[in-house]
Amino acid sequence: DQQVKQNSPSLSVQEGRISILNCDYTNSMFDYFLWYKKYPAEGPTFLISISSIKDKNEDGRFTVFLNKSAKHLSLHIVPSQPGDSAVYFCAARYWDTNAGKSTFGDGTTLTVKP
Amino acid sequence: GAGVSQSPRYKVAKRGQDVALRCDPISGHVSLFWYQQALGQGPEFLTYFQNEAQLDKSGLPSDRFFAERPEGSVSTLKIQRTQQEDSAVYLCASGTDNQPQHFGDGTRLSIL
């Protein structure tokens, strides 16, 4: 039973437009959510996070929205740039356990076309 | 370097052989995690250390998998009697407090 799901394996967007990546989770005990970006042959790098007490967190071109009632979060990238092309992983964890082992989705491959 | 370092980057072994994968975390990071990433999937938690103590090993798939961090810094993930389903990228991550983890670039393990 996959607790974190990214239902779109891939997304293609034109440079300058908005990219929206979606993530659903089933475990209502998760209270901290993260997005990681991964380039080929490299490890994931942290992008942005949100705790369950918030519904939005913004960092430059990246905004994460959390809808707890729907158990859904999304990552918005505006404007999208070719360098944003990568695999994006959504992850969830419990805030107070051992610095939190994270449960990851299977990723969405974003391609930003020039 | 300043980041998490993993070695080797690539490892090919024959089925039945033992392998050892090394992780050098960021200096001063108390927490260390091992993840297994199969092709086309996200990382899956294997085990967690806080300093030298292995606090959670619930993700280790079998007793052929063993991890240690004897001095609270470098960690080794050992897989005994490897099988083809062990082929994956093994990621190490380190962190402090409840901050997001920093990942290494992984070891790609191929079992023939």
Which residue(s) pair with B44 in the sheet? B36
Cα(B86)–Cα(B75) distance, integer angstroms: 19
Strand partners, A104: A91
Q: Which chain A residues are Cβ-neighbours of B105 within 8 angstroms?
A: 41-43
| Average pLDDT for chain B | 94
Which SS3 state, helix, strand or coil, does residue B63 take?
coil
Structure confidence at residue B98 (pLDDT)? 72
Averaged pLDDT for residues B19-36: 96
Residue A78 DSSP label = S
B100 and A CB contact within 8 Å: yes
Q: Taking 70 as the threshold, does the pLDDT of residue B36 lie above it? A: yes
Q: What is the rounded distance in angstroms from the CA atom of residue B16 to the CA atom of residue B46?
A: 21
- Prior bond to A44 cis, omega within 30? no
Q: What is the pLDDT of residue B2?
A: 78
Digit-coded pLDDT (tens) for B46-69: 999 999 999 999 999 999 999 999
Nearest to B33 among A101, A103, A107 (CB): A101
Q: Which of A82, A81, A79, A85 is nearest to A108 (CA)?
A: A85
Contact assignment for A99 to B102 by CB distance below 8 Å: no
What gap in Å lies between CA B51 and CA B70, rounded to an integer?
Answer: 9
Whole-number Cα distances in Å, A82 to A2, A12, A69: 31, 11, 34
Structure tokens that stand for B37 in this block: 């990433």
Partner-chain contact B106 A105, CB within 8 Å: no
Record: contact B42-A106, CB cut-off 8 A: yes
Write the pLDDT tens digit of every residue in A6-65. 999 999 999 999 999 999 999 998 999 999 999 998 999 999 999 999 999 999 999 999
The pLDDT, as a whole number, for residue B61 is 94
| Nearest-by-CA chain A residue for B49 | A98
Q: Do A91 and B97 touch (CB under 8 A)?
A: no
Is B44 within 8 Å of chain A by CB? yes
Mutate to test the interface with B, among A38, A52, A101 (most CBs of B within 10 A): A101
Query: Do A18 and A76 form a contact (C-beta atoms < 8 A)?
Result: yes
Q: Is A46 on the interface with B (CB under 8 A)?
A: yes
Q: What is the pLDDT of residue B25?
A: 96
Tell me what pLDDT residue B1 has: 53
Beta carbons of A104 and B93 less than 8 Å apart: no
Confidence of residue B101 (pLDDT cuts 50, 70, 90): confident
Q: Residue B31, Cβ neighbours under 10 Å: how many?
A: 22
State the burial class of residue A40 (Cβ atoms within 10 Å of its Cβ: 0-12, 13-18, 19+): exposed
What are the C-alpha distances in Å from A66 to residues A33, A38, A73, B6, B42?
A: 9, 22, 4, 34, 20
Mean per-residue pLDDT, B30-40: 94
Q: Per residue in A66-103, pLDDT tens?
A: 999 999 999 999 999 999 999 999 999 886 655 558 89
Distances A47 to A18, A33, A68, B85 between C-alpha atoms, Å: 17, 11, 20, 31
